[in-house]
Amino acid sequence: MFPDEAACMAYLERARWSDGFICDHCGLLGEPYRFANRPGVFRCRHCTRDTSLTAGTVMERTHTPLSVWFWAA
């Protein structure tokens, strides 16, 4: 079900923002900026603040790959 990091990130994104991205800082609902070299970071188009996909979870600030976390769970 989770063969790679991209699948894990896509699942977390759907679980966290099932109705679409909502900025933690300004509360704006909409499509965030996405970075090719930072796939787990989203930038709000309104306030330009960054939000990590794992912020506020037990996986916050970890260096362990998401696939290992998912396997452990």
The pLDDT confidence band at residue 71, using thresholds 50, 70 and 90, is very high
Distance between CA 7 and CA 17 in Å, rounded? 15
Is residue 30 within 8 A of residue 20, CB to CB? The reply is yes
**Total-model pTM:** 0.85
pLDDT digits (tens, 9 = 90+) for 11-66: 999 999 999 999 999 999 999 999 999 999 999 999 999 999 999 999 999 999 99
Domain spans of the chain?
A: 5-72
pLDDT number for residue 1: 86
